[in-house]
């Protein structure tokens, strides 16, 4: 009697999870963790903080998670413009279409798109600062000045600069 091999595809990893967690997500998560770690460790080293690794361990997961949340908050401003449309007969219709094309295609092609994206980046950076200063660094032994400096370093260095990445080359 011949035995048949039964193969069960996608039982352990359903293919629809690729929509929720695209393959690029894993490298992005790892990359952000590395950058956040370097910023925290180097900033604490420059500040000559005692117990750097103890402070690092007590804050890095919060720094990492709230960094993503901050990027999402900033990105929501960009994402929201996708759902706005003006009637074609409106005198601002062509302007707004170019504005949206600048946001989703080439941020440097339209000054208004560029400014709007920079504002969204500033919003994300502000949340990075607030979350780190008020929440993640609260568990450390850093004094208020050191918390402020580490939070500022994170806000500036880990700002979502990729918002400015031109994407129009994907469409052409």
Give the tens place of pLDDT for each residue, 99-123. Answer: 888 888 888 888 999 999 999 999 9
Cα–Cα distance for residue pair 136/123, rounded to 1 Å: 18
pLDDT band, residue 144 (cuts 50/70/90): very high
Over residues 156-160, mean pLDDT: 95
Over residues 64-68, mean pLDDT: 95
At 134 the pLDDT is 95
At 169 the pLDDT is 65
pLDDT band, residue 94 (cuts 50/70/90): confident
CB-CB contact of 108 with 163 (8 Å): no
Q: Residue 11: pLDDT above 80?
A: no
At 8 the pLDDT is 46
pLDDT band, residue 159 (cuts 50/70/90): very high
At 4 the pLDDT is 64
- Helix ranges (H only) for the chain are 17-20, 25-46, 52-80, 93-104, 111-134, 144-157, 168-171
CA distances to 10, 27, 51, 73, 151 from 14, rounded to whole Å, are 5, 20, 44, 29, 39
Neighbours of 162 (CB within 10 A): 10
Q: Which residue has the tokens 């091999």?
A: 5
At 79 the pLDDT is 87
- Phi first, then psi: give them for residue 81, nearest 5 degrees: -65, -20
Q: Residue 155: pLDDT above 70?
A: yes
Share above pLDDT 90 across residues of the chain, in percent, rounded to a whole number: 56
């Amino acid at each position: 009697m011949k035995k048949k091999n039964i193969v069960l595809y996608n039982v352990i990893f359903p293919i629809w999870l690729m929509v929720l967690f695209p393959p690029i997500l894993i490298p992005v998560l790892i990359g952000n963790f590395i950058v956040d770690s370097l910023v925290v460790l180097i900033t604490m080293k420059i500040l000559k903080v005692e117990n750097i690794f103890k402070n690092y361990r007590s804050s890095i997961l919060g720094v990492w998670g709230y960094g993503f949340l901050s990027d999402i908050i900033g990105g929501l401003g960009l994402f929201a413009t996708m759902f706005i449309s003006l009637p074609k007969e409106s005198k601002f219709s062509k302007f707004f279409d170019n504005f949206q094309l600048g946001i989703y295609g080439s941020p440097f092609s339209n000054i208004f798109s560029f400014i709007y994206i920079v504002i969204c980046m500033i919003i994300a950076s502000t949340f990075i600062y607030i979350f780190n200063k008020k929440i993640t660094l609260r568990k450390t032994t850093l004094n208020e000045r050191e918390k402020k400096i580490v939070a500022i370093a994170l806000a500036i260095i880990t700002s979502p600069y990729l918002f400015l990445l031109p994407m129009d080359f994907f469409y052409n």
